[in-house]
Structure 1
Amino acid sequence: MTTETLTPRWQFRTPKQRLLRWIGWFWLVALTVFCWEIMTRDTIWAFVADAPRQAADIGDRMFPPAWAYINTLWEPLWDTLNIATLGTLLGILFAVPVAFLAARNTTPSVYFVRPIALLIIVSSRSINSLIWALLLVAIIGPGLLAGIVAIGLRSIGFVAKLLYESIEEIDQRQVEAVRATGASGVQIIDYAIVPQILPAFWGISVFRWDINIRESTILGLVGAGGLGLQLQASLNVLAWPQVTMIFIVILATVVISEWVSARVRQAVL
């Protein structure tokens, strides 16, 4: 008997691990098939088969774009920018105190105040801005105000979450140094915490503004003003060349906002 026969072969997984792995894959495939059956239960496959032809037909109708229609879009575009900007400012106004209340090293109470602040953050992030707009249009009526408040409510959770994580990651030695001078709680925040989180704050704010530009373009679909309202009007009358022009304006706006956001974040970080 040779030495090679006596030497045990190393295996990446034991037989039991391989068996459990195959069982896991089997149930994953079974779950996928089950979910697919539920998702496609009411699907009319004749419509799906006809979808490429319908898409090609709509694509033919969308070109060439109605370039003259751009003059009608300047005011809705301005409304969209205002919704995104004012909504971002509104969200930041509420997000900053919520972030300080949620951070472990700045909250007045870890067991009472912090859970409430975290609940506000989770509630804000759990509901999409389009749903916020839908609710607000029903409450305060259609218009730009509903869009601004919807963007603000959505922004609170995003900004507060990233900001309170930045607060918890600050250098505590600077805080202790300022506290040793006899500074008050407000002075500690002003001289020890704010300077450390200020670059992150500007980066988060600009990043959220960039996201809000994209989200505010569709709020008009539920009556919250902006380009979405103009898009809905064009879709209602099947004016496909106008729809193409709106898409081009939205794309250009998002590209410019992305460029501005990247330059600002590069400057402050």
Structure 2
Amino acid sequence: MSPVETSVPVWRRRTPTAQLAIWALWLGIVALFVWCCEEMTQRTIWSFVWDAPQAAADIASRSWPPRWSYMDQLWSPLWDTLNIATLGTLLGTALAVPLAFLAASNTTPSRLILRPLALFCIVASRSINSLIWALLLVSILGPGLLAGIIAIAFRSIGFVGKLLYEAIEETDLKQVEAITATGASKAQILNFGIWPQVLPAFVGISVFRWDINIRESTILGLVGAGGIGMQLQSSLNMLAWPQVLLIVLLILATVLCSEAISSSIRKATI
């Protein structure tokens, strides 16, 4: 009598259906990439692309050396840029803190109404770039620093609010339960149980956003929102390339200084 042959199951990482789905996904990605390349090729004037190295070299030769005598006219716009970034960060942070507590699932007083509204405000703020906010606000408020400050604030609300409410939701529940057991009110629970835990994250988020806002505020002047961007736009319109190079170098130095300051503050507080 022949021995009974038993079939040994063979382990496979994926089922045939899953493997076909993965291959179909990769095929779709490749097709999308080819289609995007085709669209880009049709809408690109390649004669300008081939001449780009010569054009860049020509602009670089016209830009050097920087016009250092123009520096006296840049201190005031640079100060305006720093004010836009700082005041916009402060305003945005002040508005983002209550929204973060309303959006966090463990601190919101209403999961059905207030939490969705707070999340909507945070998402709406993050969905619109600060340059678009500035365009809208310049049309409403007119050109000037106020439009830039409010644009930076509106953009900061979503960034600070999202990261802060995530930090609130990750707080240690044991500390909250201990304070709750003492008969503390909701305000006391927030003040002594939750806020001390999220304070280091809040400081780090705020300083990081201020660092980002300095970068963004340098270009808001291109749409009339004040700051050094207006000087950059004016120099570009006049084809004053030595002035453009000086402004770019000044912006780079400002961003490097803000990066060093924000990094030092985060290391000291976190």
SS at match of 1:40: helix
SS at match of 1:157: helix
Q: Say whether 1:175 aligns with 2:151.
A: no
2:33 is aligned to 32
1:251 is aligned to 252
CA 1:31 to 1:113, structure 2 compared with 1: closer, same or farther past 3 Å? same
SS at match of 1:217: helix
Q: How does 1:86-105 map to 2 (within 5 A)?
A: 86-105=87-106
* Distance (Å, rounded) in 2 between the aligned partners of 1:10 and 1:33: 36
SS at match of 1:105: coil
Shift of 1:249: 0.5
1:4 is aligned to none
The amino acid that maps onto 1:205 is S
CA 1:16 to 1:183, structure 2 compared with 1: closer, same or farther past 3 Å? closer
1:144 is aligned to 145
* Distance (Å, rounded) in 2 between the aligned partners of 1:96 and 1:23: 45
The amino acid that maps onto 1:186 is A
1:59 is aligned to 60
2:43 is aligned to 42
Shift of 1:111: 1.7
* Distance (Å, rounded) in 1 between the aligned partners of 2:229 and 2:92: 21
Shift of 1:191: 1.1
Q: Say whether 1:221 aligns with 2:234.
A: no
1:157 is aligned to 158
Question: Mean Cα displacement is larger for which, 34-43 or 175-184?
Answer: 34-43
Shift of 1:19: 6.2
The amino acid that maps onto 1:197 is V
SS at match of 2:183: coil
2:129 is aligned to 128
Shift of 1:42: 2.4
Q: TM-score, normalised by structure 1?
A: 0.92
CA 1:109 to 1:17, structure 2 compared with 1: closer, same or farther past 3 Å? closer
* Distance (Å, rounded) in 2 between the aligned partners of 1:19 and 1:96: 47
Question: Mean Cα displacement is larger for which, 70-79 or 39-48?
Answer: 39-48
* Distance (Å, rounded) in 2 between the aligned partners of 1:42 and 1:68: 42
Q: Deviations over 1:103-153 (max 9, x none)?
A: 001001112111110000000000000000000000000000000000000
Pairwise CA RMSD:
2.0
* Distance (Å, rounded) in 1 between the aligned partners of 2:186 and 2:9: 66
SS at match of 1:109: coil
Unaligned runs of 5+ in 1: 1-6
Question: Mean Cα displacement is larger for which, 227-236 or 48-57?
Answer: 48-57
Shift of 1:10: 8.8
1:264 is aligned to 265
* Distance (Å, rounded) in 1 between the aligned partners of 2:11 and 2:106: 49
SS at match of 1:218: helix
* Distance (Å, rounded) in 2 between the aligned partners of 1:171 and 1:188: 12
The amino acid that maps onto 2:241 is W
The amino acid that maps onto 2:159 is F
Q: Deviations over 1:32-62 (max 9, x none)?
A: 1111222332222112211111111111111
Paired residues, number = 263
1:85 is aligned to 86
CA 1:89 to 1:26, structure 2 compared with 1: closer, same or farther past 3 Å? same
* Distance (Å, rounded) in 1 between the aligned partners of 2:158 and 2:216: 15
Shift of 1:181: 1.5
Q: Say whether 1:230 aligns with 2:231.
A: yes
Shift of 1:180: 1.6
* Distance (Å, rounded) in 1 between the aligned partners of 2:102 and 2:17: 49
* Distance (Å, rounded) in 2 between the aligned partners of 1:51 and 1:215: 27
The amino acid that maps onto 2:204 is G
Q: Deviations over 1:192-230 (max 9, x none)?
A: 111111111111110000000000000000000101000
